[in-house]
Structure 1
Amino acid sequence: MSGPQAGAARYAGARVPRVEDPRLLTGHGGFVDDVVRPGMLHAHFVRSPMARARIAGIDASEALALRGVHAVFTAQDLNPDVRDPWYSLVGRDVADTPRPPLAEGEARFVGDPVALVVADDRYVAEDAAELVYVDYEPLPPVVDYATAQQAGELVHAGHPGNLVGELAGRPAAGLAEVFDQAAHVARETIHQQAYAAVPMETRGLIVEWSPPTGEMTIWASTQVPHEMRLFCSRLLGLDEHRIRVVMRDTGGGFGQKALPQREDMCVMLAARKVPAPLKWIEDRQENLISAGQGRHEHADARIAFDADGRILAAAIDHVQDAGAYPVPWPVQTTAVVGLLFPGPYRVPQATFSCRSVFSNTTGRTAYRGPWQFESLAREVLLDIAAREMGMDPVELRRRNLLRRDELPVANPNGMPYSDITPLETFEQALKMLDYGAFRREQERARAAGRHIGVGTCTYVEPTTSGMGFHATEGATIRIEPSGKVNVYVAGGSTGNSLETTVVQLAADALGADIADVNTIQGDTAITPFGGGTGGSRSGSMTAGAIAETASVLRERMVAIAAHRLEAAAGDIELAGGRAHVRGTPDIGLSFPEIAAIAYFQPEKLPPGVPAGLEASGRYRARSPMIWANATHVCTCEVDVVTGEVRLLRYIVSEDCGPMINPDVVEGQIAGGTVQGIGGALYEHFDYDEDGNPLTTTFMDYLLPTTTEVPTIEYGHIETPGPGQGGYKGVGEGGAIGSPPAVVNAVADALAPLGVKITRLPLSPAFLSDLVSEAR
């Protein structure tokens, strides 16, 4: 970067009210379902009622005879039009899994889209879908991913043993001697159930095709408008400049909307075959059965300790459920579980193996920290190990956690940790709780017959990848003739407050008044290319893009002001929407006055300074990865008769670097933490032995509400990362740290009864049975 730099931040770091809240909180947001196009038609999917069945034939004649029905598309109508559908996030050359738009030849899970009905309105389309006759020939489903490799049936014929893929670290035999000779080895098989994002707004898009111009416009509920444009271009064989994707408000994504899925493909393909714009909005039941699941996995995890409780080695053999149609290629995620299993601890040696396996259930999708299982397995195992060794779990962690002064260091799997504070956040969280006081309270409670417990989780997470699709981010900034500022970024804001973040950063970078800054996001026709939201990248990457771009405009404005005020450029300061001479704030030019010269009085510009005040820039991440870390501490009380868990206190000490907006940071932590609490205690995608989903409404799929979640207390340690402003990511951590903390708190409460917890979720019935068995 060249040219004058911004002075001390005025807005970044402050609790600036979110600029999007006035419209969102008053019901004036603009979502996909609010978009109306002339003559718009509506789509609805015919979905398989069977987990696995051969499709012998489809008769749509009755449906087509229904008034208002325009078309019924099957695989033979849409699938042949597919060109080259691969995800930029993964790359063209990475192994991928089958992904036909509509089921072709065989349905592979309950909810598999088999046909697409297009009608005048949603009601007619739904009625018509019931009239489409599909001749299913039932086949034996592969429901349990844990036994899928031994099953005689295949989910996909091209994948023997139902194996998506596998990877491994150093040979496990090399660590056998360490484990054999260790003073203590903790080893458990830990299971996590399937649960998922369940965003407030379900998936949906509107696709409008213009035959005369060969152009397509898509309004989408997505985290990645530019990736959706790229994907559509490859899917349909259209030039990118003929596709426009518009993303407005999006009611949550959490990874589920990070990539286009099969239904999106169908609507894109069908839009060129109908005479008007085509709209599809998913209902809640469709979302629960077909939008994708996360977390479903298990592992054989083991940690070896010396006689003093110091870790000697760690190993994990991980298996995850990929479902029938995972998005994206899931082997990368399971590999990260193995790579990060050592966590933020001093672990001299480690190894791992990981496998991803198909099943006849809904496909695995990205979900907020999709590698989260590594923390669950490690942190639950550490508590079990401490109890087996007669040691306080907190003391065991103290002996092994990395300190700030030990960094940088690579974990034994080669992950290069830097700029993190595991021990420091751990101690801060325990101090906030007053750990000693809680243990004394626990003794009194146990004497009175009450079962209260405390659990922790300390983790390190990768954010802001500097590689591949996510490695760069662009921004365009235009100071209008009025002096107001418009900032154009790719966006992808899905509740993570990118609007407010951009306004804060741009106001500081330019020295503008925050009230004069506006941002335009999510429209590929006018915003620079960007990677969208995912991988906890948005804050740091957007900050870099704004800084790169603003530096060009600052240099130009300073030059104009210095020329007009007859001062040296080095004496010009930009602040409060004005350029003034340092030390004499009354002598200066306002942004409108500078803009008037730049746009309307080019003869008054200094030599070499171009007219106008608009610039574009692109930021490249400065390191392959930026690391963040946190400690979660949870206390709870368990009713040993009913199995009910009541959370008492919840504390998060987070190091995500300097905070652009503490309110936004804490909101992100809170949202992820509540999702993790739901995963630990309530949420469960369940199937019967025939592959029928048992949790298809919110009567069965339970979500935490405000009555179940305690007030979350926040502690912050700010260690700058290697990127712009020292900012790190914070979007995923809450969902990573909360399940282990809750599980460990419950296990601690029940420890006097000899209860060991290695399986989720901790439903009242499950815990009641555990207590009964222990007694």
Structure 2
Amino acid sequence: MNASLLAGARFVGQRLPRKEDLRLLTGKGTFIDDVVLPGMLHAAFARSAIARGRIVAMDTSEASGLPGVRAVFTADDFETLDIALMSGHPVEGMPQSPVPPLANGRVLHVGDPLAIVIADSRAIAEDAAGLITVEYEEDEPVVTIGQARTAPPIFPNLENNIVAAMATPDDAELKQILSSAPHVVSATIRHPRIVHAPMECRGVVASRQGGGELLVHMACQSPKAIASELGGIFRSLESGIRVISKDVGGAFGLKARVWREEASTIAAAMLLNRPVKWAEDRYENLTTANQAREQECTLTAAFDQEGRLLGSFCDYALNNGAYPHFPDNNVAAMIFMWGAYKLPRFGFNAQAFHSNTIGLAAYRGPWAIESLARETLLDIAARQIGIDPIELRRRNLVTAKDQPITLAMGMSLDDVTPSECLDKLLTVIDVEAFRAKQAEARKQGRYLGLGVTAYIEPTASGNFPPMATEAAQVRIGPDGKVAAAMGTHSQGHGTQTTMAQVIADRLGVRFEDVTVFEDDSAGGGYGYGAGGSRQAVAGGGAAIGAAERVLEKVKQLAAHLLNASVESISVQDGMVHVEGSPEMSRSLREIAQIAYGEPGRLPEGMDPGLEAQFRYDVPPVTFASAAHACIVEVDTETGFVEIKRWVCSEDCGVVINPGIVEGQVAGGLAQAIGMVLLEEMVFDANGNPLSVTFKDYLMPQISDVPDFEYTHVVTPSASKGGFRGVGEGGAIIGPPTLVNAIHDALEPFGVDSLDLPLSPSKLVGLIDGGADEATAR
């Protein structure tokens, strides 16, 4: 470990309480529905009742006449605003297409917004929306991946329903390997569609200020990035845009952009010149907010006699829905498919399809199908080859001595540690003792299983243009206290705490004297905020850079005032000292007051004040590594899965705050449990969503989530501070860990289904189907 990165660290690495918690736990948070402006009106949407068709006629007259309704807007009413809302994220080679904020002539999924009603209250607006009548000319909807492959395009201007596609060239040698290798294993994984289900749904409050400025309060992942996006959407707006995003109750990728409802609400506020609020309810969130996953992946891999990988091919498909945010998720999934495993040859055919369902959005670990497919296939292969699954991983994982290494897809690795994480994990999990316990339990009719996995996660991708840089502004005020305006933004990440820890260490001040501001696009430099597990690396790097600039100025000023060398100056607990001369000291408050109020006492050429801004050039990619182990017991009569133990061995570089790191991992693992055992957004043949409440769409409860155990490998990264991201890992590696444990438990029954979720009823059916085989054994 590079000790210099932690030299003098007093707060980084400490399990400090979150600064945010007292305010939030005492009900003093400010979420989007807490925002109330004078004269504020409320919005509700009339939505399509069919999945596909042409709008023949729409009658809004009865809605408009309801007392308390101030306006009803349809697509035609927004034409004068020149709204440029685009589908998808800008990706080279995949042009974006315009998306109407309100359906314009046709509908493409159930819940497609048709009109926005503005009224004195939400209740009146909802009642009025229900009075709008629509006549449709229905078309046959395209709902599934299978239908999308062969059906006519849902967008008339396209040749087919393929929204994104990528494939490797034909490889005769790979085909030969896959047809003649000693061991060839194949499996098909089906991941259902899921929803983000943040505790706080989407929402926005928009208003025009006296000077024409557009003020937007929004539950989002980055107020600065959203302000920039709004500038591109509302091109006719001549004045500035300011976005404020106070507390955000979860996001998971859903709140990374401006959606149609938010754009429509803002447009209504502009036309009415009145504040307008739209606060999404849970029904809307489940049925009309962009969703995630719905992937099919057939992965084939070839091994030699000793279980070493020879080659692999993946056939992958994604149902992107009507208006997707990230149509290129398939590309990322293929690049990372084999993670840190030494695979000589790899080929794939990846396609993403349009359909008449709600579009997809990024969701914690958008490419996570790669770990699910790879890690479950490795366990299936181990059983077929007759080798322990842990040993199979050992034989194929990249180790320290292999690096630097360039893998089959051109991905270069030079500091990943999955092997080290696996080694440390196995010091906590006694596999031999578990196997003995498992064998004894089976004699009693009890079925225990162990799943072990390893992975790497690309975090803080600076090679993705929107995330390439990050800014921070740090200021020591005349009171000696520190204020930092950051581009980071918390939706539960604890960045107001972690960034304060980083800055306090660099400046030599008390942790409690640092306040982090990240809720206003008008404060500090541009920053992308949350996304891609980037905030520790990108935000931390920017914070360090800005704090170091301020510290250097403090030292120069103190050296001038105390007649000492700059090198002899140090700061600790807000006091400025001269090395070897304890009597020569000043408080940081005194130094700051001189910096701001007595410019005549400053060194020649020094600007007044103690503040600096720094823009960090984020490294192209910073990998995190981990290995997980899960022990389950499956009740073969009910199909109930009880998680007995879960151990995480993580390498996220220098750990800023162990409690926050573990909270991030635990949150992702809770979502993983939901994905494997419970969650599925179901549509009928006509494209109607059937999972419309939490009675239909099952979420994990606290009783489903065990107490996770943690151990850490600390390998500082090349980023400033040595940090690595950790926000998405649990949701990426959690699903295959749990699936492998279930398969291991039910091995006597031959259960190896990868058709998620593995619900109790599904498991009982699989167990009953394999009962004869288990009896024979």
Tell me which residue corresponds to 2:159. Answer: 160
Are 2:85 and 2:101, in contact at CA under 8 Å, matched by a contact in 1? no
Are 2:421 and 1:425 equivalent residues in the alignment? yes
- Aligned 8 A contact 1:79 1:100 in 2: no
**Could you tell me how far apart the structure 1 residues matched to 2:427 and 2:407 are?**
28
Indicate the residue corresponding to 1:538 in structure 2. Answer: 535
Q: For residues 341 and 92 of structure 2, what CA distance do their matches in structure 1 show?
A: 36
Judged with a 3 Å threshold, the aligned counterparts in structure 2 of structure 1 residues 301 and 440 are, in CA distance, closer, same or farther, namely: same
1:136 aligns with 2:128: no
Aligned to 2:775: none
For the residue of structure 1 that corresponds to 2:319, the secondary structure is strand
Q: Which moved more, 1:577-586 or 1:558-567?
A: 577-586
CA distance in 2, matches of 1:186, 1:311: 11
**Aligned equivalent of 2:455, options 452, 459, 479:** 459
Counterpart in 2 of 1:408?
404
- With normalisation by structure 2, the TM-score equals 0.96
* 1:562 match: 559
SS of residue paired to 2:746: helix
Q: Deviations over 1:146-188 (max 9, x none)?
A: 331112x432222332110201234343411111221000012
Partner of 2:198: 199
Other structure's SS at 1:296 match: strand
Over 3 Å counting, the alpha-carbon distance change for 1:371 and 1:516 in structure 2 is: same
* Mean CA deviation greater in 408-417 or 297-306: 408-417
Once residues 599 and 639 of structure 1 are traced to their aligned partners in structure 2, the CA distance between those partners, rounded to angstroms, is 70
Structure 1 residues 659-717: Cα deviation after superposition (integer angstroms, max 9, x where no partner): 01111100000000110110000011011111111111001111111111111011110
* Structure 2 equivalent of residue 285 of structure 1: 283
State how far apart, in whole Å, the 2-side matches of 1:512 and 1:282 are. Answer: 42
Q: Alignment partner of 1:552: what SS?
A: helix
Query: What is the aligned counterpart of 2:504 among 502, 507, 512?
Result: 507
Question: Aligned letter for 2:535?
Answer: S
* Residues 286-435 of structure 1 mapped to structure 2, 5 A cutoff: 286-328=284-326, 330-331=327-328, 333-435=329-431
The residue type paired with residue 277 of structure 2 is K
Q: Residue in 2 aligned with 1:175?
A: 174
Aligned residue in 2 for 1:217: 215
Q: Would you say 1:748 and 2:747 are equivalent positions? A: no
- Alpha carbons 1:225, 1:522 under 8 Å: kept: yes
Q: How far off is 1:729 after superposition?
A: 0.5
8 Å contact from structure 1 (residues 86, 92) kept in 2: no
Distance 1:209 1:149, change over 3 A: same
Q: Which secondary structure does the structure 2 equivalent of 1:193 belong to?
A: strand
> Distance between the aligned counterparts of 2:404 and 2:169, measured in 1?
22
Maintained 8 Å contact 1:154/1:160: yes
Q: Distance in 2 between matches of 1:217 and 1:204?
A: 14
1:438-457 equivalence runs, <5 A: 438-457=434-453
Counterpart CA distance in 1 for 2:588 and 2:671 is 45
CA contact (8 A) 2:487 2:539 kept: no
* Deviation readout 1:442-489 (Å, 9 max, x if unpaired): 000111111110112211111111121101111111111111111001
Structure 1 segment 564-643 matched on structure 2, within 5 A: 564-621=561-618, 623-643=619-639
User: TM-score under structure 1 normalisation?
Assistant: 0.97
Deviations 1:594-614, CA, capped at 9 Å, x for gaps: 011111122221222221112
Amino acid aligned to 1:234: G
Q: Offset at 1:5?
A: 11
Q: 1:244 is matched with which residue?
A: 242
Match status 1:694 vs 2:668: no
Aligned-residue offset at 1:7: 5.7
**Match for residue 657 of structure 2 among 650, 658, 661:** 661
Matched, 1:711 2:710: no
Tell me if the contact between 1:453 and 1:637 (Cα under 8 Å) persists in the aligned partners. yes
What is the rounded CA distance, in whole Å, between the counterparts of 1:186 and 1:6 in structure 2? 46
The 3-state SS of whatever aligns with 2:415 is coil
State how far apart, in whole Å, the 1-side matches of 2:171 and 2:769 are. Answer: 35
The Cα shift of 1:615 comes to 1.4
List per-residue Cα deviations over 1:62-103 (Å, max 9, x = no partner).
001100101111111125633444589626974224522111
For the 8 Å contact 1:44–1:118, the answer to whether it is kept is: yes
| Aligned equivalents of 1:124, 1:770: Cα separation in 2 | 50
Instruction: Mark the runs of 5 or more structure 1 residues left unpaired by the alignment.
Output: none
Shift in Å, 1:138: 2.3
| In 2, Cα distance between equivalents of 1:10 and 1:415 | 36
- How big is each residue's C-alpha offset from its partner over 1:3-55, in whole Å with a ceiling of 9 and x where there is no partner? x9996111111111100001011111111111111100100011112122221
For residue 615 of structure 1, what is the amino acid of its counterpart? A
Query: Quick check: 1:720–1:726 contact (8 Å CA) kept in 2?
Result: yes
- 1 CA distance for matches of 2:492 and 2:727? 10
Give the number of equivalent residue pairs. Answer: 767
Deviation at 1:200, TM superposition (A): 0.5
**Pairwise CA RMSD:** 1.7
Residue 203 of structure 2 contacts residue 219 of structure 2 at CA under 8 Å; is this kept in 1?
A: yes
Q: Secondary structure at the match of 2:272?
A: coil
Confirm or deny: 8 A CA contact 1:222 1:247 kept in the other structure: yes
Contact 2:195 2:292 in 1 (8 A): yes
Change (3 A) 1:241 1:502: farther
Task: Give the residue type in structure 1 aligned to 2:748.
Answer: P
Instruction: Find the aligned partners of 1:713 and 1:650 in 2 and give their Cα distance.
Output: 6
Confirm or deny: 8 A CA contact 2:87 2:99 kept in the other structure.
no
Distance, in Å, in 2 between the alignment partners of 1:483 and 1:89 is 43
| SS at 1:218 equivalent | strand
Structure-2 separation of matches of 1:170 and 1:240:
49
Whether the 8 Å CA contact 1:490–1:523 is kept in 2: the answer is no
Deviation at 1:199, TM superposition (A): 0.4
2: distance between equivalents of 1:30 and 1:179? 57
Deviations 1:363-386 (A, max 9, x none): 100000000000101111111111
Q: Deviations over 1:206-241 (max 9, x none)?
A: 01024x522100000000212211111111115686
Code of the aligned partner of 1:635: I
Aligned residue number for residue 8 of structure 2: 8
Q: Is the 8 A contact 1:339 1:352 kept in 2?
A: no
Partner of 1:646: 642
